[in-house]
Amino acid sequence: MSFQTQVYSLMKSWCDELLKTQISMPSEPLLDGALLCPACALVHGRCADMILPLVLLYNDTGEEHYLTSAKRLIDWTEYNLLTEHKDYRNDLGNRWKGTNIFSCLAIGETLHRFGDILDTETFQKWDAIFRRGSAAAIGFCETEEPHINYNAGAAALFAFAYNYTGEQTYLEQALKQERFCRAHFDSEGLFFGEGKPLDGTTEKGCHFIDMGYNLEESIPLLVMHSVWLGDAEKIEFYTNRAIDHIGFLLPDGAIDNSWGTRQNKWTYWGSRTSDGMHEGLVYVAHGNPVIAKAVRKNVELLERCTVDGRLYGGPMYHSANEPACIHHAFDHAKSLAVLYLEMGDALDTCLDAVLPREVEGVRKYQNGHLYTVTKGNFIATVNACDTHIYSNSETGGGAISMLWNKTYGAVMAATLNRFVTTEPLNMQIQRHVDEELCNTARLGRSDLDKTVTLNANGYTITASSTQSGFSITYDFCEDALNISILSSTDTEYVLPIVSQSGDRIQKNDHTIIFKDLLTVSFDGECTVTPNGEKRHFHPVGGFQYKHLTFPVKANRALHIEIKTAK
């Protein structure tokens, strides 16, 4: 099977499964035509964004039910989400209207690519909706001052609307939004503005950056803006910024958002309600094998997280017996549709490319409060940022927020200090657990100390706090990570290790072996929780964990080694 066929098959499997959830209640327009999420027991308002893949499937198969379902999704949206200002709100019961930008893009791209196969009535209806919604989007960013992903979305929408309508106002708006976005890249090429104020910095001099939103939404949208306007300088600029961001893509296709400001929506492969990197980056994948490989590996990860046509929000939702929220699939189906239509052979010969994260070295970000490390079998992120925009959403404190091993995969994957449901209609909670545990490695207090600073010396990084009286040293070797912990008071160190249900764990006096692939050795005592075959699970990242807890005596170093098992 060619990779293009693989992409199409995955997209179709999602759409076919999604349509099983479409409600048929003609006498109840509040419900008729919507998709009822079996994971969240509610209707997600942006479900009509999947009209592009549905119309693509109608075009390819001739099966009328795909087009009929798309029409019903739009009709439901018109009845339920249209505001007095002629734009769409995000959901029933949610007044946020920024996502009108993305709904307009979905409708516009469908008309652009498949308008000639639509019946006259449908084309005219959808065309009027697109024109109305695009006009309503003018001025939204200036009035609402949203997170910066909406400015990137507006830059793309208005560029598309200019091409589609020829109206000069849209070109002016597109250029205005892109200029605003261009001013929000830091010295490492990372896009900031996923927090308030958009151009603000914290006490530590960090910017508000979220890798999930950046790689799955903002950067692809800015690429699309540049391509649709045919601006070679912008295409080159945003291609380079895409490569900068791919510095946080793991070899298995995951987006390392273990440290982002909106990490509460992290899904390992991306972010909970964004479209995906594919629909924008495919335009610059030709001649850029690093981008092509990044896109391909991400699709392969999406496929591994799909079971029976349902895309799960992480690798271990299914093994944890948690359902799949449909928001992931109807967003990403649109992205895969564009990838399928535009990819050609760009992704067929890219696997020999070397991703930035596969190159050995230590790289500094966020004013020295964030480091990435690649050494031997290990890839890591060490995070002491203070950029948390929601109360109790900390993931820093000098912890290793991501540890990835070539044979084991994700070893450590940080989660929120407390699970913060900032978007109750767009975030999935566990069905039978009252509180999700913090799965960030931490010493003592669970509030993840903001006084910590980082210091790097070669492949050795030290996190320390004079105020709190401790230091943690991470020494990266070819096949091992050595952790040394020193505290001025008695405390404990909690080390959550990713461990899937059914995987073998062997515990000896001073050694724990996971799956015969990873060994954790220590020179003190260790308690493993939960007991037996149970695992902790967290919706953020979508991993199961065993917590290793080590007592730490005052002024006596604790040594832990994490090593690839022989």
3-state helix, strand, coil in the chain (%, to 5): 35, 20, 40
Domains parsed from the chain with CATH numbers: 3-45+147-342 (1.50.10), 360-564 (2.70.98.10)
Residue written as token pair 């959808």: 126
Span 424-477, pLDDT tens digits: 888 888 877 766 789 999 998 656 788 999 999 999 999 999 999 999 999 999
Laid out side by side, the sheet with 558-564 consists of 453-457, 460-465, 470-476, 480-487, 558-564, 518-522, 511-514, 505-507
Q: 137-141, 224-228, 465-469: which range is least confident on average?
A: 465-469
Distance CA 417, CA 8 (A): 39
72 vs 52: CA distance, rounded Å: 14
Task: Give mean pLDDT, residues 161-181.
Answer: 98
Q: 22: Cβ–Cβ under 8 A, 6 or more apart, which residues?
A: 33, 34, 35, 36, 69, 72, 73
Please compute the mean of the pLDDT values over residues 539-549 and round it to a whole number.
Answer: 96
pLDDT interval class at 101 (50, 70, 90): very high
- Can you give the pLDDT at residue 429? 81
Q: Using one digit for the tens of pLDDT, what is the confidence trace for 380-431?
A: 999 999 998 887 777 889 999 999 999 999 999 999 887 878 888 888 888 7
Q: What is the pLDDT of residue 444?
A: 82
| Kind and range of the H or E run holding 546 | strand 543-552
Split at pLDDT 50, 70, 90, the class of 538 is very high
Confidence (pLDDT) at 306: 98
65's CB contacts (< 8 A; 6+ apart) are: 19
Q: Beta-strand (E) ranges in 352-447?
A: 361-365, 370-375, 378-383, 399-405, 409-413, 442-443
State the average pLDDT for the chain: 95
This prediction's pTM: 0.97
Omega cis (within 30) before 38: no
Check residue 446 and give its pLDDT.
54
Indicate whether 493 pLDDT > 60.
Answer: yes
